[in-house]
């Protein structure tokens, strides 16, 4: 199983994106408790252009190419934001 390697790639990618990309607003990755290899990622971008810039970035491409053989299925879901809240942004 490649789960630990995948998680290392994911952690590096998320930390870099948040640190260097002003258009990446939020990045959450969670694992299903019963199926730890089932990962859900919620990404919030300032704009469609910020998303396009993100998926062309060197750190994202390193993650994408490095985990390509590990990802068995992928579903991208484009959503409309309803409400976001956090302690920093009520």
- Tally of structural domains, the chain: 1
Q: Is residue 4 within a helix (H) or strand (E), and if so which, with residue range?
A: helix 3-20
Average predicted confidence (pLDDT) for the chain? 93
Quick: pLDDT tens for 20-75. 999 999 999 999 999 999 999 999 999 999 999 999 999 999 999 999 999 999 99
Q: 7: which residues sit within 8 A by CB, 6+ positions away?
A: none
- 18 is a domain residue: yes
Q: What angle do the packed helices 3-20 and 58-67 form, to 10 degrees?
A: 170
- 89 is a domain residue: no
Question: Can you list the positions of beta strands (E) in the chain?
Answer: 24-31, 39-45
Predicted confidence (pLDDT) at residue 88 exceeds the cutoff of 90: no
- 49 is a domain residue: yes
Predicted confidence (pLDDT) at residue 14 exceeds the cutoff of 90: yes
- 58 is a domain residue: yes
Q: Which residues of 32-45 are buried (b: 16+ CB within 10 A; e: fewer)?
A: eeeeeeeeeeeeeb
The boundaries of the domain holding residue 41 are 3-67
- 59 is a domain residue: yes
In this prediction the pTM is: 0.86
* CATH code at position 62: 3.30.70.100
């Amino acid at each position: 199983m490649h789960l630990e390697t995948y998680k290392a790639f994911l952690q590096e990618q998320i930390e870099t994106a948040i640190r260097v990309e002003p258009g990446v607003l939020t990045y959450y990755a969670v694992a299903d408790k019963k199926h730890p290899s089932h990962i859900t990622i919620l990404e919030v971008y300032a704009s469609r252009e910020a998303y396009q810039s993100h998926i062309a970035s060197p750190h994202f491409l390193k993650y994408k190419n490095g985990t390509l053989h590990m990802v068995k299925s992928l579903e991208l879901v484009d959503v409309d934001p309803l409400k976001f809240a956090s302690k920093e942004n009520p």
